[in-house]
């Protein structure tokens, strides 16, 4: 396979660093850089001071001082990340990134924009083949798009009133370093809600289910239990234990020890990465039955997907039927860095052939079409939709 050159953009409002585990975009950029380097590609990374990831060259295009000027000081463990495409941090990042990319670019390079139309000005200015990897947002702009799930791809197509498929779009799930999420077979007697504390994410339903089934509920993430704007008044609930966003090690410990992770979202989740993180730890998940969950949760095998309250309660009471080893195997075999890395390598080589004959170009190195395969636990005889 050809060795390619990539210009990978980080986030303008946050250092791209593993410690920012609450930011899904940050984690996607870090993993993508690792994948590209594992295949021997050249990676130029453009990011904020304090970023840390695998690359051939880290080009700093913004500073901590710029971030403080733009957003002030705030507790990112408790408050939602601040960002706007026209704020000082983004204007500074974009202007410097354009200058630095133009100084390094070569023919047949690929630009990677993981923040969608926030980074469109950069793509327009440097005039490279541009790919949006890991799309879980609606602000798409490029001709080459990698979505996190089929559910989200079809949702975005609907918003765009796009009735036909696009040959050079693809669906590639998020991926995870298996070592970050140790397997834990012995569980404690608590349920876990992990994520932004907002109504659309289902925190109220999670509280109601935990209370009805007699369980303590850990609520971990950015936001407040009492928030009139979100119609939340959970601060006085004795069965809830609140924790602000935690670091990677504590995140894995909480996920691994939980009896189950609750994700009863109203929101159409583009991916819902916490559910895969939980399964990597051997922890079953209980989710709503839409968005990406039918693609990531094997009903009756690695968790349950529910539609009404009594189903959520039944799922909690019968969570012992789910085998932790099945959760782990499904997640490792389908969402590990190695597995998803093969999918990205297939995709980027396909796109790069556009510099040759494109869609009709032959590929004598082809030995299989394994990149779209899914791998199921041996006991997965239930709903495999």
pLDDT 10s digits, 210-223 = 999 999 999 999 99
C-alpha span between 248 and 254 (Å, rounded): 10
In sequence order, the 6+-apart residues with CB closer than 8 A to the CB of 117 are 85, 139, 140, 141
Nearest-5° angle of CA 366, CA 370, CA 373? 160
Q: 385 pLDDT band (50/70/90 cuts)?
A: very low
Fold match, 5-142 / 178-331? yes
pLDDT 10s digits, 15-29 = 999 998 889 999 999
Residues forming beta bridges with residue 110, ordered by sequence position = 6, 129
Is the pLDDT confidence value at 74 over 50?
yes
Average pLDDT over residues 7-11: 99
Residue 157 is predicted with a pLDDT of: 98
C-alpha span between 288 and 269 (Å, rounded): 10
In degrees and rounded to multiples of 5, residue 35 shows phi and psi of -60, -50
Average pLDDT over residues 318-345: 98
CA dihedral 62, 67, 68, 74 (to 10 degrees): -150
C-alpha span between 385 and 292 (Å, rounded): 11
Of 23, 105, 116, 20, the closest CA to residue 57 belongs to 105
Q: Are 379 and 326 in contact (CB under 8 A)?
A: yes
Q: Are 105 and 7 in contact (CB under 8 A)?
A: yes
Is the pLDDT confidence value at 380 over 90?
no
Of 169, 173, 167, 168, the closest CA to residue 156 belongs to 169
pLDDT 10s digits, 91-146 = 999 999 999 999 999 999 999 999 999 999 999 999 999 999 999 999 999 999 99
pLDDT 10s digits, 18-62 = 998 889 999 999 999 999 999 999 999 999 999 999 999 999 999
Question: pTM to 2 decimals?
Answer: 0.94
Tokens (6 digits) for 29: 């950029």
Consecutive H or E run containing 97: helix 88-104
Residue ranges per domain, the chain?
A: 5-142, 178-331
Higher pLDDT, 79 or 59: 59
Provide the H-helix boundaries in 128-168: 150-159
Q: In what order do the strands lie in the sheet with 285-288?
A: 240-243, 216-220, 190-194, 260-263, 285-288, 303-306
Determine the 3-state secondary structure of 264 from DSSP. Answer: coil
Residue 322 is predicted with a pLDDT of: 98
Residues forming beta bridges with residue 261, ordered by sequence position = 192, 285
Q: 77 pLDDT band (50/70/90 cuts)?
A: confident
DSSP state of 241: E
Is the pLDDT confidence value at 381 over 60?
no
The Cα-based distances of 184 to 316, 320, 335 in angstroms read: 18, 14, 18
Higher pLDDT, 209 or 383: 209
The Cα-based distances of 150 to 17, 131, 134, 271 in angstroms read: 28, 17, 12, 10
Residues comprising the chain, all counted: 385
Q: How is the chain split among helix, strand and coil, in percent rounded to 5? A: 40, 20, 45
Is the pLDDT confidence value at 332 over 60?
yes
Question: Considering the chain, what is the average pLDDT of its residues?
Answer: 96
Higher pLDDT, 78 or 149: 149
CATH dotted code for 5-142: 3.40.50
Q: What percent of the chain has pLDDT over 70?
A: 99
Place of tokens 């950029």: 29
C-alpha span between 340 and 177 (Å, rounded): 11
pLDDT 10s digits, 194-206 = 999 999 999 999 9
DSSP secondary structure string, 101-113?
HHHH--TT-EEE-
- The matching CATH number, chosen from 3.40.50.720, 3.40.50.300, 3.40.50.2000, 3.40.718.10, for 178-331 is 3.40.50.2000
């Amino acid at each position: 396979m050809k060795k390619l050159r990539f210009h990978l953009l980080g986030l303008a409002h946050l250092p791209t660093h593993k410690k920012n585990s609450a930011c899904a975009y940050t984690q996607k950029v870090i993993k993508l850089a690792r994948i590209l380097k594992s295949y021997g590609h050249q990676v130029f990374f453009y990011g904020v001071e304090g970023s840390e990831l695998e690359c051939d060259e880290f080009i700093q295009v913004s500073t901590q001082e710029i971030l403080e000027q733009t957003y002030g000081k705030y507790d990112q463990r408790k408050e939602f990340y601040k960002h706007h495409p026209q704020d000082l941090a983004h204007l500074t990042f974009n202007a410097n990134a354009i200058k630095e990319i133009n100084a390094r670019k070569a023919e047949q390079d690929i630009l990677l924009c993981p923040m969608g139309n926030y980074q469109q000005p950069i793509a327009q200015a440097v005039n490279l083949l541009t790919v949006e990897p890991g799309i879980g947002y609606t602000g798409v702009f490029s001709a080459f798009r990698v979505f996190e799930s089929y559910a989200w791809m079809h949702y975005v197509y609907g918003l765009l009133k796009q009735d036909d498929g696009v040959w050079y779009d693809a669906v590639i799930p998020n991926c995870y370093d298996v070592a970050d999420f140790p397997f834990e077979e012995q569980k404690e007697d608590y349920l876990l809600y992990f994520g932004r504390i907002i109504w659309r994410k289902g925190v109220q339903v999670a509280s109601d289910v935990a209370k009805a089934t007699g369980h303590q509920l850990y609520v971990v993430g950015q936001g407040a239990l009492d928030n009139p704007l979100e119609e939340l008044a959970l601060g006085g609930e004795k069965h809830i234990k609140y924790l602000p966003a935690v670091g990677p090690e504590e995140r894995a410990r909480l996920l691994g020890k939980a009896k189950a992770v609750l994700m009863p979202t109203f929101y159409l989740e583009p991916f819902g990465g916490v559910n895969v993180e939980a399964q990597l730890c051997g922890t079953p998940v209980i989710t709503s039955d839409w968005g990406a969950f039918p693609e990531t949760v094997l009903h009756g095998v690695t968790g349950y997907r529910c539609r009404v309250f009594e189903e959520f309660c039944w799922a909690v009471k019968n969570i012992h039927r789910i085998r932790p080893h099945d959760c782990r195997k499904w997640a490792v075999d389908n969402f590990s860095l190695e597995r998803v890395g093969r999918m990205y390598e297939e995709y980027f080589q396909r796109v790069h052939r556009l510099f040759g004959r494109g869609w009709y170009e032959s590929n004598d190195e082809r030995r299989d079409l394994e990149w779209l395969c899914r791998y199921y636990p041996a006991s997965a005889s239930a709903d495999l939709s």
